[in-house]
């Protein structure tokens, strides 16, 4: 499969940032609307062998990647920065643990084995070298990256009984709205053999929206054409595989005899309320994932790792959950 980068430009307020699960759901709806439900079912039922297979990363602010899950207090790392006062290194380690992203240049250093955590801590503590810590990411002094300003507001609203056209006592809820700078840009990555289909899906999504609250004009993006990103990942030399999506392992994926760095998160999502799913219970079962930035020893890096479990059935429709890992 070829690897592509897609840029998405925000055209409205948002309810959340799109992860690989949200993108997968949006792609599936777009394929169903563009090519029909039979084409979508054929893809989902034969995902590992289908020519239309696609693997998606989560979305990240343009030019940034999820921070790899590294133990900055590992003995091997500590031995490298023992030479300077711990009072200088301690605040740096705390900041490194809190950031969420690394820049593209730092990402290249990491996957090519040039990322030396101990040396980076020393350089940051002594305020020298090529690395700097910004508000929420680690980058190089040569880079000019601006993280978009974000404001989150939780509005209080009333549930409306549409039969009586009135509100009911005690049915207040909070509605999350994210305000972001005009034309703020995000990236995600897709692996596929069928660039033509992915192009059609992206054009469709530019005229639609992601996530919920489409009818109120929220979560609207403009999607770019896919750009070849194979060179970005081609030089990877790291022993562990670097996860850029959420991931559900299946038996045989991971070499558990070696040390793996990962975090787990338990989430549940909703089936989009439309067509035959409009009046049904649309909450999916809770699923545990490995998160973005995890570093995993895979037994076979060449094949697709992860699974697409069926976690719900509505009528004759199977509801899948995306657990396919986008690994570098």
CATH of the domain at 19: 3.30.70
pTM of the model: 0.85
Q: Is residue 162 part of a domain?
A: no
Q: Is residue 47 part of a domain?
A: yes
Residue pLDDT, tens place only, 3-34:
999 998 887 777 778 899 889 988 998 999 99
Cβ-count burial of 70 within 10 angstroms (0-12 exposed, 13-18 middle, 19+ buried)?
middle
Residue pLDDT, tens place only, 53-97:
899 999 999 989 999 998 877 766 666 666 677 777 888 888 888
Residue pLDDT, tens place only, 292-313:
999 999 999 988 999 988 877 7
H helix runs in 60-158, sequence order: 75-81, 86-98, 104-111, 117-125
**What is the structure's pLDDT at 121?**
87
- Same-domain status, 240 and 226: no
Give the count of domains, the chain. 3
Q: What percent of the chain has pLDDT over 90?
A: 34
Of 140, 167, 192, which residue constitutes the final position of a domain?
140
Q: Is residue 7 part of a domain?
A: yes
47 — pLDDT class (breaks 50, 70, 90): confident
The token duo for 120 is: 């980076």
- 137 touches 68 (CB < 8 A): no
- Same-domain status, 46 and 194: yes
**Euclidean distance between CA atoms 41 and 233, whole angstroms:** 31
State the Cα torsion 201-30-53-320 to the nearest 10°.
Answer: 150
Structural domain that includes position 42 = 1-59+183-231
- 70 touches 261 (CB < 8 A): yes
Residue pLDDT, tens place only, 194-246:
999 999 999 998 887 776 666 666 677 888 999 999 888 887 888 999 999 99
3-class SS of residue 21: helix
């Amino acid at each position: 499969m070829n690897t592509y980068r897609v840029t998405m430009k925000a055209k409205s307020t948002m309810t959340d940032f799109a992860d690989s699960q949200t993108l997968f759901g949006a792609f599936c709806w777009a394929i169903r609307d563009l090519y029909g439900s039979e084409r979508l079912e054929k893809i989902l039922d034969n995902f590992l062998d289908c020519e239309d297979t696609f693997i998606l990363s989560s979305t990240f602010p343009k030019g940034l990647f999820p921070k790899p899950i590294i133990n900055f207090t590992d003995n091997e790392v500590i031995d490298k920065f023992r030479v300077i006062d711990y009072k200088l290194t301690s605040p740096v380690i705390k900041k490194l643990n809190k950031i969420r992203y690394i820049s593209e240049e730092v990402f290249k250093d990491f996957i090519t084995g040039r990322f030396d955590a101990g040396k980076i801590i020393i350089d940051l503590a002594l305020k020298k070298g090529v690395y700097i810590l910004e508000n929420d990411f680690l980058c190089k002094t040569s880079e000019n990256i601006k993280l978009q300003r974000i404001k989150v507001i939780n509005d209080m609203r009333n549930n409306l009984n549409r039969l009586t056209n009135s509100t009911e006592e005690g049915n207040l809820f909070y509605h999350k709205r994210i305000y972001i700078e005009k034309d703020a840009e995000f990236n995600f990555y897709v692996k596929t053999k069928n660039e033509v289909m992915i192009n059609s899906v992206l054009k469709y999504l530019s005229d639609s929206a992601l996530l919920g609250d489409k009818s109120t004009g929220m979560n609207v993006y403009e999607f770019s054409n896919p750009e070849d990103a194979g060179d970005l990942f081609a030089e990877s030399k790291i022993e562990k595989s670097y996860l850029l999506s959420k991931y559900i392992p299946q038996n045989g994926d991971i070499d558990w005899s070696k040390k793996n760095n990962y975090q787990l998160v338990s989430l549940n999502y909703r089936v989009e309320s439309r067509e035959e799913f409009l009046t049904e219970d649309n909450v999916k079962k809770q699923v545990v994932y490995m998160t973005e930035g995890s570093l995993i020893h895979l037994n076979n890096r060449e094949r697709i790792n992860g699974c697409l479990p069926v976690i719900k059935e509505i009528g004759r429709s199977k509801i899948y959950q995306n657990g396919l890992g986008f690994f570098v």
